[in-house]
A and B are shown apart, each in its own frame.
Chain A
């Protein structure tokens, strides 16, 4: 049974259809990259998978549970996943406190919180910055904290929306490494939206290409780039599309 399954999922805002009839299966423990031009619906798809918004049509099934349920149950499901957005969206507290929020809301005790936070801060090389007010960080550092915050809860599913788009190489490499480690050591399933073909090749076993709200093609990452089946995919990977 796949961890996440989207069945004929569509999402419209008003009359504008952003995601159209998407069928997607995410097996446990896999890393899937999501690529596509701007406006293709990547962010919306991530938000749908994160259960932050409900589909206009179709259904999303997480670990066998249909997500067309009440808010309470939805929140329980959400606690099994973590999201990293394009913009860090950190809280106006210290780095350390940001990272601990997910753990606090899940009702862990102080001891456990401290241990896990310590662990994640070390892995993401954030121990120097732990007491700094989050709002004073640079873009790359902030995004690193955002990823740390997401990983602290050891989620079953990790969703990332272009996480390194505005990061310098060092921050980007720390982020990528932690994603890979989490997947390798803890079996975290990963869905990562990215513009960067090199990143997709580095991280993902499979890649899906999204165009105007529809999944046009999905293959193993290498194959998608070397021999894309659809001409739109070909145009995108060769840089002829925006």
Chain B
């Protein structure tokens, strides 16, 4: 049927357009892509900086209401982005409680929205990764006279693959998020427009080929980040020096 054929046409011309946009270094596309990386990257970094320690402490300590906390965090990973966006908009709005911060329609508001969604993810995956560590290992650390901080660091090192995964998953969900950042960012051209917002706009305006082009760029971005972190993961999972593992400079394997 003609409809089906023209569908493929659009996708193929979208791919062609993507190549053209990337090679020509179109400034608008570059700017939008750069902003996407910055916003999602920062949100993921913050989400990890907050979520991983919180998750580790939650997992290692026994306290009243612990299972409730874990349940809540796990549920929050399914927060609908649109709802987050709406609530955050109402809060940051001029007539909202935090309106005086003048954060609405800024990149920071978008980072905040994505942070709200990334944090439960990193925390939840951290909790399950750390909880999955062999309890004997924890006992071994204790028996070696490790202080609580050392013990925690040892646990973090044991769970390092899981923690890295949490960052990857967090970034993936951040970079592809669209509802919340449009509500609090406003999708303003040259200022708060990122790849996902631009794709929505182009789709709404019927510019399908361009929308697909940007979609391909977005996918490539996620792909590159994934590859980088996979390389990191394999280095982590291989022989690595205990003292250097945090700063990712694994010791050379000295055995044959």
Binding site for B on A (CB under 8 A): 50, 52, 75-76, 78-79, 82-83, 85, 87, 89-94, 97, 100-102, 104-106, 128-133, 149, 153
Contacts and interface: CB of A to CB of B under 8 A. Distances in A.
B68 to A, nearest CB: 24
Secondary structure of the B contact surface, majority rule:
loop
B146 interface: yes
B145 A97 contact: no
Contact of A153 (B144, B150, B158): B144
Most-contacted residue by chain B among A50, A79, A92 (CB, 10 A): A92
B245 A93 contact: yes
A45 to B, nearest CB: 15
A131 B256 CA distance: 9
B183 to A, nearest CB: 43
Nearest to A79: B145
Contacts of B239: 94, 131-133
B145 to A, nearest CB: 4
B238 interface: yes
A124 B142 CA distance: 23
3 nearest A-B residue pairs (beta carbon): A131-B254, A79-B145, A97-B242
Contacts of A106: 145
Interface string B112-139: 0000000000000000000000101101
Contacts of A97: 241-243
A104 B241 CA distance: 13
B158 A91 contact: yes
A129 B245 contact: no
Contacts of B205: none
Interface string B142-163: 1111110010001001101000
B136 A78 contact: no
Contact of B143 (A50, A128, A129): A50
A75 B254 CA distance: 34
A163 to B, nearest CB: 13
A93 B157 CA distance: 8
B241 A89 contact: no
